[in-house]
Amino acid sequence: MTGTTLIKNGTILTAEEEYRGDILIRGEKISVIADEIIPEKGWEVLDASGMYVMPGGVDQHVHFSFNYKGSKVRGFETSHAAAVGGTTTLIEFVNQEQGKGLVESIQDYIKSDVDGIAMVDYAFHSVMTDPRDEVIEEIPKLAEAGFPTMKLFMAYKGMFFHADDDTILKALKKGRAAGMTIMVHAENAEMIDVLSKELIREGKTEPYYHAVSRPPVVEAEATRRAIYLAELADAPLYVVHVSCKEAMEIIREAYSKGQQVYGETCSHYLVLDREDLAKPNFEGAKYVCSPALRTQEHRDALWEAIDKKWLNAVSSDHCGFDWKEQKHMGFGDGKSFADIPNGAPSLQNRMNILWTYGVCEGKISRQRFVDLACTMPARINGLEGKGHIGVGYDGDVVLFDPSYEGVISVKNNLEDVDFCPFEGFVQKGRADTVLLRGQVIVKNGQYVGQKGQGKLIHGKPYGDSYK
Ligand code: URP
Ligand code: ZN
Ligand code: ZN
């Protein structure tokens, strides 16, 4: 049972402001915010002196069921990694199962892999993989069922989840009428296919060539094409995991001309480099993700973009693949970078990276931090009670200790894989205490919640991309 919790003496952070105040959470919701609230008998009091009190993070890009050439990521049993990193709501991508409906695929997945397991709140994006006419007709039902977002993969030629332009156009048109936000993984699958085959023929099979097979132009072309498709459909478009300057500029240009085109980037694109893929002894495989890691020039452009609101969220694109077994699918005779599962684990460190390398280095303000990590992801996805400290919002609150200093390592990571792409990075600040709908789930930086405590949050259609 949730009681009444008073958070005292903290500095409250929202996407707009920063002020001293106390917060009262009754049951699952924030009920009062005031300069000073006097505690009453029976209330739990948390002292937030010296802490920032901010909304629980919302990570709108998580994979707990992604399967790359038969190899599957870790699932919801690792969702407490989000909690210790300050994230209290995550949104996962669920592939439509062949022969099944879109809504049915998500509902079956919840029953088999989520219910009773999730340790933070969750919502879902659909991924359409079987675009028959009746499936296109079903798209509005997703919005009605509380799943108002859908991702389509322009990349990954030949894989069952790849989407052609006709599928994307049909989804945009159908989705528009129902307030669905269509999201795209924007990379040109044909370009990647040609370049990959050339490289492999030349014996260039090491992990580094993953990046060579997917240069920025691959992402830029698909981004521009998706924007044209959205223009034709008169529909909003959301571009996920933007990694390069060119794609970001194309989004910014379309938006500045009045088109409803938005995008996110991810923590790894802000701090990791293409050269990481060249690390010896197959270490480079740890950094294989798509789009590929870029250079400093692109990172500078991405930091500027998130500061100036040209991109509106920072996600993890978390994929819990391990290195010893799964990443090694691309190792040995006859194998190449193309066989390495795409994606890296970063659920736990998304907000740590954004705070340490963004706020502490003066690249973004604390308000931008909250907006990018919490508020905008909730609004884009129609999660009305999430992402903000305000009366009536869910009691998802992080007491963030800015004085903490540590080093990021797989050794204190709950993602259940054998590496961390940010290994050895300095971490400044951490989520000291985390509340999920009024219940403490992290204390002194340690997870203290329970399996199954997370609940399904239904998204509302017409998210912020329609505004
Ligand atoms: O490399 C990545 N990003 N893997 C996860 C699937 C996706 O494309 O988002
Ligand atoms: Zn993707
Ligand atoms: Zn992804």
Percentage of the chain beyond pLDDT 70 is: 100
Say which amino acid occupies 251. I
List residues near ligand 1 (CB under 6 A).
Answer: 63, 66, 185, 241, 289-290, 317, 319, 342-343
pLDDT band at 2 (very low <50, low <70, confident <90, very high): low
- From the CA of 194, how far away is ligand 2's center (Å)? 19
For residue range 376-397, list pLDDT tens digits in order. 999 999 999 999 999 999 999 9
Q: What is the pLDDT of residue 397?
A: 99
Ligand 1 pocket mutation, candidates 288, 290, 340, criterion most atoms within 8 A of CB: 290
Nearest Cα residue to atom 9 of ligand 1: 317
Nearest Cα residue to atom 4 of ligand 1: 343
Q: Which two tokens stand for residue 316?
A: 């993890």
Q: Does some domain include residue 407?
A: no
Q: Does some domain include residue 300?
A: yes
- Kindly calculate the radius of gyration of the chain based on its CA atoms and give it in whole angstroms: 21
For residue range 315-355, list pLDDT tens digits in order. 999 999 999 999 999 999 999 999 999 999 999 999 999 99
- From the CA of 462, how far away is ligand 3's center (Å)? 22
Ligand nearest the Cα atom of residue 68: 1
Ligand 1 pocket mutation, candidates 289, 321, 339, 347, criterion most atoms within 8 A of CB: 289
Ligand 1 pocket mutation, candidates 68, 95, 151, 185, criterion most atoms within 8 A of CB: 185
- From the CA of 30, how far away is ligand 2's center (Å)? 35
Q: What is the pLDDT of residue 167?
A: 98
pLDDT at 111 exceeding the cut of 80: yes
Q: Which two tokens stand for residue 165?
A: 């332009």
Q: Does some domain include residue 443?
A: no
pLDDT at 422 exceeding the cut of 60: yes
Could you tell me which residues come within 8 angstroms of residue 197 by beta carbon, excluding any fewer than 6 positions away?
A: none
Q: Does some domain include residue 373?
A: yes
For residue range 55-85, list pLDDT tens digits in order. 999 999 999 999 998 999 999 999 999 999 9
Q: What is the pLDDT of residue 385?
A: 97
> Which residues make up the environment of ion ligand 2, defined by Cβ < 5 Å?
185
Instruction: In whole angstroms, give the CA distance from residue 180 to residue 364.
Output: 30
Q: Are 453 and 118 in contact (CB under 8 A)?
A: yes
Burial 36-46 (b: 16+ CB within 10 A, else e): ebeeeeebbeb
State pTM to two decimals: 0.98
Q: What is the pLDDT of residue 236?
A: 98
Say which amino acid occupies 124. F
Q: Does some domain include residue 164?
A: yes
Q: Does some domain include residue 445?
A: no
Ligand 1 atom closest to residue 290's alpha carbon, by position in its atom list:
1
Neighbours of 184 (CB within 10 A): 27
For residue range 145-165, list pLDDT tens digits in order. 999 999 999 999 999 999 999
Neighbours of 17 (CB within 10 A): 11
For residue range 22-61, list pLDDT tens digits in order. 999 999 999 999 999 999 999 999 999 999 999 999 999 9
Q: What is the pLDDT of residue 313?
A: 99
Q: What is the pLDDT of residue 256?
A: 98
For residue range 94-106, list pLDDT tens digits in order. 999 999 999 999 9
Q: Does some domain include residue 249?
A: yes
CA angle 270-275-278, nearest 5°? 135
For residue range 443-458, list pLDDT tens digits in order. 999 999 999 999 999 9
Q: What is the pLDDT of residue 266?
A: 99
Instruction: In whole angstroms, give the CA distance from residue 122 to residue 372.
Output: 18
Please choose, from the candidates 301, 294, 289, the residue with its C-alpha nearest in 3D space to the C-alpha of residue 341: 289
pLDDT band at 271 (very low <50, low <70, confident <90, very high): very high
Residue 231 belongs to what domain range?
56-384
pLDDT band at 311 (very low <50, low <70, confident <90, very high): very high
Q: Do the strands 4-13 and 18-26 form a parallel or antiparallel pair, or are they unpaired?
A: antiparallel
Nearest Cα residue to atom 2 of ligand 1: 343
Give the CATH number, domain containing residue 360.
3.20.20.140
- From the CA of 162, how far away is ligand 1's center (Å)? 12
Instruction: In whole angstroms, give the CA distance from residue 256 to residue 305.
Output: 13
State the total domains in the chain.
1
Q: Does some domain include residue 436?
A: no
Ligand 1 atom closest to residue 342's alpha carbon, by position in its atom list:
1
